[in-house]
Structures are given as C-alpha cells and as structure tokens.
Structure 1
Amino acid sequence: MTKLFSTTRRGALGLALGAAATLGLSMPAAAEVSFEGKTIEFIIPFSAGGGSDTWARFNAPLLGKYLPGNPTIVVVNEPGGGSTKGANLFAARAKPDGLTVLGTSGSTQFPYLLGDPRVRYEYADWEIVMAAPTGGVAYVSPSTGVSSFEEIGKLKGQKLIYASQGATSLDLVPLLGFKQLGLDVQHVFGFKGRGDGRLAFERGETNIDYQTSSAYIKNVQPLVEAGTAVPLFSWGALDEDGNPVRDPTFPDLPDFSEAYELMTGNAPEGPEFDAYFAFFTAGFPAQKMMFLPKGTSQEVVDAYQAAVTAMKGDPDYIAKKEAILGTYEQVTGKAADTLYKRGTVISPELRKQVVDMLAAEYNVKLGD
C-alpha cells in the first residue's frame, strides 16, 4: 500500500543518481523503470493548508500507487519567496532520477513571467508530467454589509484589507482584479501561503480574501454555511475559444467579467483588462503543474505520465476528485504540454505594463 507522509525536511534531495544514470550506462527500457523501495519527494513551494498543498496530498498517494514499484510519496512543504525558494531549490538540487518532482502554481509562474531576480529556474528546462486547471473564489466578511454577490456594489468606498503572498505571486490576479473593480483594497504583503491568508480572514484581521477552488471547497465553504464569509465571484474559466465563462465548479456564482459588469455597468475591455486577463490565464487555466527536473530520461517521463493516466481511472480518484479538486480535469501528455506552454509565456508589452504599474502604484520592485 502506498504511504503518504508529510515533512519539512529535504532528505531525498541529496540522493545520488541511481546506477541506471551512471556515466556509460544506458537508461532502462520503460518496462524496466521501477521505484520499488524508493521514496519520492513531491516538493510543494507553499505552506500547508493552501490549494497547492491540498492538490498535492490528493494526488500523491494515487500517483505512487501507479508508478512502477509502488514507491512511497513524501509531500515536502518549502514555502518562501512567493514560492521561488522551493522552485529554486528544485532547479539547483533535484536529480534526474525520478525521485523528486515539483508542484508549481501561478505563484511560481508569475515571478518567472515578470523577470523577478529571485527566480533561478527555467520552465523550459523541465519535463511536464501533469497540468491541472483550477479556479478560485473571492469572498468578503459579512461585516462589510454584503450578504450576497448581488450586493457587491456596497463595497465601493469601503476600506478593504487583503492578506497577500506578494505582488508577483498568484495574488497578482486579485491585485489586478480588485483594481479593475474599483475597490479600495490594502494589500498586506508577506504571507507565506493562501492558507495563512485564510486564517487571517478567520481571525478578523482582513475582510476580503480568495482561495483556489480546492481550498475554498474544503476550508471556506464551511465558513459560508456558518455565515462568516460571503462569496462574491469566481475568477472564471475559459471556453474552447478562450472566452471567459462561469467556472463549472461554481455555476451559481458570477465569473469576474460578470462581477465587473455588476460593479460598473460595462463589459470589461481595454489594456488594463488585457493585463489582468493575461495573468488570469497563466494563473488558473494552467495553474498547477507537476514537473520532473532537467535531464530526466524519456523512459522516466513516460512512466510518470502513464501513472497519471492510470490513476485517473482509479475508483478512489473518481469518487473523491470532485470534492477535492472540483470539476476540473487533470491532463497529461500533449494536453499538458499545451497548457504548460500557454501558461509560461506573456508578451513583453503586457509584462512591462504590469511591472510599471506595480512600481508606480504599489512601490513594488521585482524581488521585493
């Protein structure tokens, strides 16, 4: 039986390459790849309790069940630097032996897209295993006087406080989004994860927040049912033509575009919306991805991708997926590669626009 443990230590990152990768020996055929008796570290560059952590802990035991040799999966939380710390660690130290994988989020992609000097990793170097679209829901405290999304207009002129991981993290989407809505939001930077942000909301230290779908379903829906949180809108999803639509996991909530119309009476358009939309696309339709390090053999990549395909047919996966991940389908192979490329590229013009705005309006410089 696959075991799932949690640790904050990086024990396996220092393991030497196995004999199959020794100079002069060829890699085994796909049928010979085996992780029997091995421990695989699944690096999550965020604190426990957030959406990425929830995603990893759902997938890890199932992935281990279908990898050759049924290895043990260890989820390792390495928060810090808006997730750049853990990603940098992976890029610098992970060996191409299949024993270390990285889970990224929009918070890992955004510093890369913006040219943040803290970034010491290159997405193009890595091998994609799986991509997982996700969504997110923004919500407020009932202390704002808002009791449903129809009353979003009541937020105009109010002082709102948001716990942010940083302006170059995935929290750039709410920063740009709240600005588009004309909300007066103070972004308190420095929180290590969205789980920490939720706890600040629960303590009454903030009055507006958002969580990715998995964390919202697990941790915020009970607050909504208890009357201590009021959902406003989801960030939404994209249809086959790339147009914004309601998130299928939250069909009763307006998407961001609808919320914009509720607030302003107009459909969203213009360069500021284009900038928001570019980062939304990078942060949510292809938000969570799993990678193997540079130099990993195709046989090992194939073994991982086959395990993803197999685990999606597992009865336990099917039974629990929607409750944990929502209605989003995780993909591998060509579909994952397409999302990976779309989620790690942005035009220089939009990049400059956002970087200049952060410096001018929030006094945020890359690397802060």
Structure 2
Amino acid sequence: MKNTHRTLVSLSARAVRPLVAAIACAGALSATAPAFAADFDGARIEMTMPFKEGGGTDTWGRFYAPLISEQLPGQPVVVVKNIPGGGSTSGANQFQLRAKPDGRDIFASSGSTMFPYVLGDKRVKYEYKDWTAVLASPTGGVVYISSDLGVKNVAELVKLKDADLKYASQGATSLDLITLLSFEVLGLDVKAVFGMKGRGEARLAFERGEVNIDDQTTSGFIKKVQPLVDEGKAVPLFSWGVLGKDGKIQRDPTFPDLPHFVEAYEMVHGSAPSSERFRAWKSFFVAGYAAQKGLFLPKGTPDDVVQAYQEAASKAVAVPGFKEKAQDVLGDYDQAVGEEARMMFAEAVSMDDEAKGWVINWLNTKYSAGLQSEE
C-alpha cells in the first residue's frame, strides 16, 4: 500500500506540473494581450439607416458596409436596415432606445439627423453625446451667382447691396440653413423661395432665371454648374471649405482657387468673423459638410469594440484603390477616423447657448420656423 501511495503522489505531481506551467503561461500572456478582444465571427451587424433606400446617406452606408465587414475581426455580415420617417429622427430615436452596446448595432448619420438635434426639435429623443463616432465623411460645396448681376468674384459683393437676390430653398431648417446663414453673416439681403424638393430642382430654377444665387455640393457643381460657368452664365463666389485637423476652415482641395467662406467674409468685411451668428454657422457647416455623414456606436460600447471598429475603418480607407473606388460616392475628400471624427462631431453638436439662442430666434423671426426657444 505504501508503494502504491508513493506512486499515486508521484503521478499526481507530474500531472500538475504542466497544468501549473500552462496557468503561468496564460498569466504572462494576459499581461500583454487584452482579456476580451472583440471578435465578430458569425455575427450579424445591423446598420440603422434613418432614410429610405436609394438616398445619399443610404448609398454611403451601403458603400461602407462591406468594407467595414471585411476589416472587422471575424468578418461579420453587415446588414443595412432602413427606418425612414420624421426627417430621419424616427430611426435615430429607435437606435437610441434599442441599440445594444456589443458592436452588433451601428448607426449611419447625416447632417439631416444632426440639424434637428442642434435646434432642439421636439421629435428628437436621441443624444449624440451618448454615442461614439468611428468614421466621418466630409463633402464640399460652392455658392455661385448669375453673371447677369455683373459681379466677377466675391470681392465685388458690395455691388450686390441693392440687388434683388433670390435663392431657391428646400426649407429654412433643411441643409439649406447653412446657405441662408451664410447670406446673413455676409450681410446679403437674399429672398428665399421655398418649396424646392432638392438642390437639383433649385439649380433648374437658377437656369430658368427664376433665382439668381444658388449653391451646389461638389459633385453637383462639377457636373451641372461648371458647364454654366464655362458658358459665362454663372460666376462661382466661394466654396464652404473643409475643416482642418486644427479645427480651422481651410480651402477645399477640389476648388483650390476659390476662397473658402471665412476668406470670403474677410474680403467683404476686412476682418475675421467672430459673432454668435458665425459660431452658429460653423456648427451647422461642420454638421452639414465637414462631417456630413458618420458611423456611430451606441452608449456604453466597450473600448475593445470601439477600437475594433476604429481599426476597421482605418484599414478600409487605406486599402489600395480605395480612393478610385470611392470617387463617385465620397469625392476626393479625406475620411476622418477615430479621434478626428469624434472631434468633428463634438464641434457640430456643441453650439454655445448664445449662438443657439440667436439662430433659433433668427429662424423664428425671419422664417417663422416655429422652433422652441431655450428660454
């Protein structure tokens, strides 16, 4: 019996040694690797799209969905779920209420979703400051006038002081708010003609001579307005510009010879803008152009999941041939990922109280917008 006991003890000791070594090895690995690295193998990712199929944001989301899928750990399927309604607030409200913070739910945002939030629209039940941005896509635009007005560039805007200026708009609180605000900041007296169904319809009104000042996004300007410029029928004044990493507005790389909006202001007024109306304009500019579309994760998403998405977005835009593939959807603009995207959205939705109070009062007074005052 004694020999048998010694044999069992000896066997047990030999069996324990590799187990101890394995535990020690695991402990050493845990010091250098995350304990719960994100992995979406076999998962189904749902991208909430607060617009109907076929629109600009839907096209953007469906462009990015397979690219993000390819770069996420486990290469999960990314499915776009369209929830239109309420000017995109319905889908955003549902995401706020139902999205789980496990990386299986993501949200595709647009300036049309940010504007109601910034303006305190009563339909808004979502909180951008709860969400984490992982990707932002900018776009650009140009303001131009009819050559019949006799102005050759933005430096001659003073000639339009007494001109009868008309602008075709979709609505005062639509994305056209940026343009209407720019006229106000510049000191231009422009009459808004509402009822347009889109900027394409507004451009047609310009071509028919029904209005004489207009703006188009980069793609629309290049394809439809540049021919009018070449024919001597339209004169470009300025671009909106792009937001630099330092938070300052810079010239649009697509229109390097055109002054951006801040430069245009300085040319007209002789100094940089700093009023509450300019601060309001800049917030809407960031929301509507500099960070027009974005990808968000819900409140409470773990750091490892956020990091996985951030790395996936970074890898997606760095894939050889990405810019050529993205040309028709994204244009030539650099995509903002991670902290840069978060900085942009933070500025877009953090308008100071003075600027917010001013713009709400201005919209209510000038355009009968019916917005609720903060007071």
TM category, shorter = 0.7 to 0.9
Q: Distance in 2 between matches of 1:341 and 1:327?
A: 24
In the TM superposition, what whole-angstrom CA distance separates every residue of 1:202-261 from its partner, at most 9, and x where no partner exists?
36575544344xxx22x3311134327653311123445544332223212111123334
Q: Does 1:352 align with 2:352?
A: no
* 8 Å contact kept, 2:169–2:176: no
The amino acid across from 1:197 in the alignment is: R
| Structure 2 counterparts to residues 254-265 of structure 1, below 5 A | 254-263=259-268
Larger C-alpha radius of gyration, 1 or 2? 2
SS in 1 for 2:321: helix
Q: Does 1:32 align with 2:39?
A: yes
Q: Does 1:162 align with 2:168?
A: yes
* 8 Å contact kept, 1:35–1:68: no
Deviation at 1:120, TM superposition (A): 0.9
* 8 Å contact kept, 1:198–1:209: no
Match of 1:221 in 2: 222
SS in 2 for 1:221: helix
Deviation at 1:345, TM superposition (A): 1.0
Match of 1:332 in 2: 337
Match of 2:258 in 1: 253
Q: Distance in 2 between matches of 1:231 and 1:57?
A: 33
Q: Does 1:174 align with 2:175?
A: no
Deviation at 1:113, TM superposition (A): 2.2
CA separation of 1:201 and 1:74: change in aligned 2, threshold 3 A: farther
Deviation at 1:74, TM superposition (A): 4.5
Deviation at 1:43, TM superposition (A): 0.9
* 8 Å contact kept, 1:67–1:304: yes
Q: Does 1:273 align with 2:273?
A: no
Match of 1:301 in 2: 306
In the TM superposition, what whole-angstrom CA distance separates every residue of 1:138-192 from its partner, at most 9, and x where no partner exists?
234567666766765665522312223x434433221210122333434355667
Q: Distance in 2 between matches of 1:96 and 1:241?
A: 31
The amino acid across from 2:224 in the alignment is: L
CA separation of 1:304 and 1:271: change in aligned 2, threshold 3 A: closer
SS in 2 for 1:345: coil
Match of 2:201 in 1: 199
CA separation of 1:366 and 1:319: change in aligned 2, threshold 3 A: same
Q: Distance in 2 between matches of 1:226 and 1:348?
A: 43
* 8 Å contact kept, 2:51–2:85: yes
The amino acid across from 2:127 in the alignment is: E
In the TM superposition, what whole-angstrom CA distance separates every residue of 1:110-131 from its partner, at most 9, and x where no partner exists?
3222322121101122232223
In the TM superposition, what whole-angstrom CA distance separates every residue of 1:71-120 from its partner, at most 9, and x where no partner exists?
44444555554432332232234444544422223332232223221211
Q: Does 1:110 align with 2:115?
A: yes
The amino acid across from 2:222 in the alignment is: Q
CA separation of 1:155 and 1:89: change in aligned 2, threshold 3 A: farther
SS in 2 for 1:32: coil
Match of 2:25 in 1: none
CA separation of 1:260 and 1:78: change in aligned 2, threshold 3 A: farther
The amino acid across from 1:40 in the alignment is: E
* 8 Å contact kept, 1:62–1:317: no
SS in 2 for 1:30: coil
Q: Distance in 1 between matches of 2:148 and 2:55?
A: 25
Identify which of 52, 55, 61 aligns with 2:66: 61
* 8 Å contact kept, 1:47–1:78: no
Q: Distance in 2 between matches of 1:140 and 1:74?
A: 42
Q: Does 1:311 align with 2:301?
A: no
Q: Distance in 1 between matches of 2:195 and 2:92?
A: 18
Q: Distance in 2 between matches of 1:243 and 1:305?
A: 24
User: Unaligned stretches of 5+ in structure 1?
Assistant: 1-27
Q: Distance in 2 between matches of 1:47 and 1:71?
A: 22
Aligned residues: 331
In the TM superposition, what whole-angstrom CA distance separates every residue of 1:271-301 from its partner, at most 9, and x where no partner exists?
4334323433454444432112334444433
TM-score (norm 1): 0.74
Q: Distance in 2 between matches of 1:140 and 1:330?
A: 30
* 8 Å contact kept, 2:286–2:344: no
SS in 1 for 2:47: strand
C-alpha RMSD of the superposition: 3.5
SS in 1 for 2:336: coil
More helix by share: 2
Match of 1:43 in 2: 49
Q: Distance in 2 between matches of 1:76 and 1:186?
A: 39
The amino acid across from 1:202 in the alignment is: L
| Structure 2 counterparts to residues 278-293 of structure 1, below 5 A | 278-293=283-298
User: Unaligned stretches of 5+ in structure 2?
Assistant: 1-34
Match of 1:135 in 2: 140
CA separation of 1:68 and 1:359: change in aligned 2, threshold 3 A: same
* 8 Å contact kept, 1:30–1:302: no
Q: Distance in 1 between matches of 2:97 and 2:76?
A: 24
TM-score (norm 2): 0.73
Q: % of aligned pairs identical?
A: 47
SS in 1 for 2:318: coil
